[in-house]
Structure 1
Amino acid sequence: MSAEIRDLTDAEARAALVCKWGEVPDDVLPAWVAEMDYAVAEPIIEAVQRAVAIGMTGYPRPADSPGLGTAYAGWADRRFGHAVDAGRVLATADVTAGVRLALDVAAPSGGLVFPVPGYSPQLAMAEITGRRRHDLVVDPDAERAELDLDQLAHHFENGARVLLLTQPHNPWGRVFTRAELEGVRDVVLRHGGFVVSDEIHAPLVLDGREHVPYLSVEGTADHTVAVVAASKGFNIAGLKCAQLVTGSRRLHTALAEAPMARNDSWSTIGVEASIAAYTHGDAWLDALLVRLAAQRDLLGSLLAEHLPLARMRPVEATYLAWLDLRAYGHDDPAAVALERQRVKLAAGHDYQPGLDGHVRLNFATSPARLTAILERLAAAVTSP
């Protein structure tokens, strides 16, 4: 079955994406929140419409909903070659809620290692769960964003017990190789550590690269909870349904038996949408990956033309570009861009406190809008 990606008009985007577009004035061009300016895949729309038509608006089934587990297991096998036990797939409200639940009920007590720059809401995850945060810092001048295994070992030797791994990574756009993940596993095993693997961007691996689920790496089942979702790949974050995946009966039981107050509020409609995405969304996703690769390449060309001193991390996955604009002399280029040219980007210091001169730019939009975003950004940061 063929599929195509349809760009939303400005009016449609403003109506549909109430955070990304609705939180900014009409004269601001948004490229900040991780939502795509594309129409939702038809199989998902049809599934949601069917559910609403029959009044499926009550409470969801318990977290071990077999339909959702079966759908995700089939998806993981097709897309990643990963054999998942459908009975060890649990629903949760979203990935951040799932990470918090895993830390609260499955992970050992002790410090939390968090690679930075990192997804900004999760910077507070250690404090929220009563842990000390250990930042695993990536050198902003390094050629490629890589996890420093010696630094990781140092943190485990100094009170950390858990690694919150985001892979593919936001905002670096990195896809970690199997060899890299095996290196992480070896450090974790050597120090008796634990991993919560946030794999929300797993569907969005570009250029035919391989996403390696951390749980697919030999020797990880007893120390890992993976948190996955269709939300980023299919633009359905507002429908509230992520999944917790384990390879261990002990960890599955700890999560499944958590009190309702720790894990509830995922959506019945979200379950139906996720099942549709995992079961019938392959063709649409394949078309999306082609579009995103073209948008990334367009962004590279626009940067070369308008901001030749800018530095973009290689974008191997996601639709988020991590841009180093320090050469243009602004501590907070996102604020400058908003004030001078009415384009909203995500400020780099939100992903790593104290890091100046960086922005995260969402390129999942139309070619025309992306061109306008870059032209406005260039005008803002290069003007006296």
Structure 2
Amino acid sequence: MAHPFDSLTADAMRAGGSWKWSTPGTDAHGRGLIGAFVAEMDFPPAPAVAEAVRACADGNRFGYLSDAWVAEMADACAAFWSDRFGYAVDPAWIRPLPDVLTALTSVVEHFTPPGSPVLLPTPAYMPFLTVPGMLGRELVRVPMAHDGGSWSLDLDVLDAAFASSGSKLLVLTNPHNPTGRVLTEAELAAVTAVVGRHGARVFADEIHAPLTFDGRVHRPYAASSETAAAHTLTATSASKAWNLPGLKCGQLILSNSADAARWTEVGYLAEHGTATPGVLASTAAYRDGREWLDDVLGYLDGNRALLRGTDLPGLSVTVPEGTYLAWLDATGLGLDEPPSAFFAREAGVVMTDGAACAGPGGMRLNLAMARPVLADALERISAALA
């Protein structure tokens, strides 16, 4: 049966004006470009979220953020994480932030030794490759292991990177962007052992936590053991699962009393940029948007199946276990240009080039679009390969 999302067209998305669909021009065949690079969904908002945003306007709720609204969001977020992931979080330890990048900046500045390097498994979310340098920190790339079908953390390489660099912070993204891996409990325990051996900390980016498939359940890193809770600061947001990035609201989840006390001292500026409408919309998403989310997960799973069933000769395709981001490895094509440039020109599909993720030769493809539009995008890619 047709889903309401199926009626969304590429022309309607272009008319909407979002960055994802704003790349100008056409491809070599004169076709309009399909936006598949920015990590946001094309789907209309959850009814509860739309109502919360309308209530902001109707109720004149555009003023500074109140403690009461923060507390409501923290309660809603804590309840969602408890119900969905089995992680009992003290709402008092859930603090508002504009986004995950603000959280990373704050953690680097206030929870690591001055001037110490930052470890980052690669490929990685693009801004994570540049933010440490902006803060005067060396970035140490830790290449992930890839067996051709899946990606995993290379613990020996991670251990060696800690030892050689003296870093005291690992940026751990789970579910992983851009490869879509969902780490297992055993993998999390292994990471904890390495981090603990070097007396380091973990910045856990878990913004895609609700977006998992095939029976997988996200395991919060801080909830995996008391040791992990003692060295972790977790960043998340409703922005990916409910498509709210423009509302500028995330959450920093603290998992030990020492970090909570430190955040009370240093967190004001980071929290101050959080948008009131974003907090109210996030509260509605966590509290009343679960049915919509489950429907979206089902739709995204259908899009995953479409990708899995499409013949893309010459590309090594990683169908995501979590997130809505697929990884296409084009190194086997022998192109003399970035693969994203080739497919933008020849297929009219605009993807994130792997080099921007420290994964040269690959591309990040966003699957969160109307299925007929995704089918068109995949047919174009297949034709360009042929």
In structure 2, the residue matched to 1:69 is 74
Shift of 1:262: 4.1
Q: Secondary structure at the match of 1:37?
A: coil
C-alpha distance in structure 1 between counterparts of 2:285 and 2:17, whole Å = 19
Residues 358, 63 of structure 1: CA spacing in aligned structure 2 closer, same or farther, 3 A cutoff? Answer: farther
C-alpha distance in structure 1 between counterparts of 2:48 and 2:209, whole Å = 20
In structure 2, the residue matched to 1:194 is 201
Letter in 2 for 1:243: Q
Q: Secondary structure at the match of 1:204?
A: coil
Residue 89, structure 1, aligned to residue 105, structure 2: no
C-alpha distance in structure 2 between counterparts of 1:366 and 1:278, whole Å = 24
In structure 2, the residue matched to 1:157 is 163
Shift of 1:141: 4.7
Contact 2:239/2:245, CA 8 A, preserved across alignment = yes
The 5 Å alignment of 1:1-384 reads 6-7=5-6, 8-16=8-16, 18-25=18-25, 27-61=32-66, 65-109=70-114, 110-158=116-164, 159-218=166-225, 219-258=227-266, 260-302=268-310, 304=311, 307-330=312-335, 331-352=337-358, 355-382=359-386
C-alpha distance in structure 1 between counterparts of 2:327 and 2:175, whole Å = 13
Shift of 1:215: 1.0
Letter in 2 for 1:157: A
Q: Secondary structure at the match of 2:240?
A: helix
Shift of 1:22: 2.5
**Where do 5+ consecutive residues of structure 2 fail to align?**
27-31
C-alpha distance in structure 2 between counterparts of 1:177 and 1:313, whole Å = 17
C-alpha distance in structure 1 between counterparts of 2:50 and 2:62, whole Å = 15
Contact 1:95/1:229, CA 8 A, preserved across alignment = yes
Q: Secondary structure at the match of 2:255?
A: coil
Residues 17, 43 of structure 1: CA spacing in aligned structure 2 closer, same or farther, 3 A cutoff? Answer: farther
Q: Once superposed, what is the RMSD of the aligned Cα atoms?
A: 1.9
Deviation per CA, 1:260-292, whole angstroms, max 9, x where unpaired? 444421110000000000001111111111111
Q: Secondary structure at the match of 1:231?
A: coil
Letter in 1 for 2:244: I
Deviation per CA, 1:27-84, whole angstroms, max 9, x where unpaired? 2111111111111111100111112111101111259921111011000011101000
Shift of 1:140: 4.5
Using the size of structure 1 for normalisation, the TM-score is 0.92
- More displaced 10-residue stretch of structure 1: 358-367 or 169-178: 358-367
Contact 1:5/1:291, CA 8 A, preserved across alignment = no
C-alpha distance in structure 2 between counterparts of 1:356 and 1:225, whole Å = 30
Letter in 1 for 2:308: G
Contact 1:63/1:90, CA 8 A, preserved across alignment = no
C-alpha distance in structure 1 between counterparts of 2:270 and 2:334, whole Å = 45
Q: Secondary structure at the match of 1:172?
A: coil
Contact 1:5/1:288, CA 8 A, preserved across alignment = no
Letter in 1 for 2:22: G
C-alpha distance in structure 1 between counterparts of 2:382 and 2:67, whole Å = 50
C-alpha distance in structure 1 between counterparts of 2:16 and 2:214, whole Å = 29
Deviation per CA, 1:184-204, whole angstroms, max 9, x where unpaired? 011111110100000000010
**Where do 5+ consecutive residues of structure 1 fail to align?**
none
C-alpha distance in structure 1 between counterparts of 2:78 and 2:145, whole Å = 37
Contact 1:60/1:267, CA 8 A, preserved across alignment = yes
Give the length in aligned residue pairs.
374
Identity of aligned residues (%): 37
Shift of 1:315: 1.3
Residues 5, 28 of structure 1: CA spacing in aligned structure 2 closer, same or farther, 3 A cutoff? Answer: same
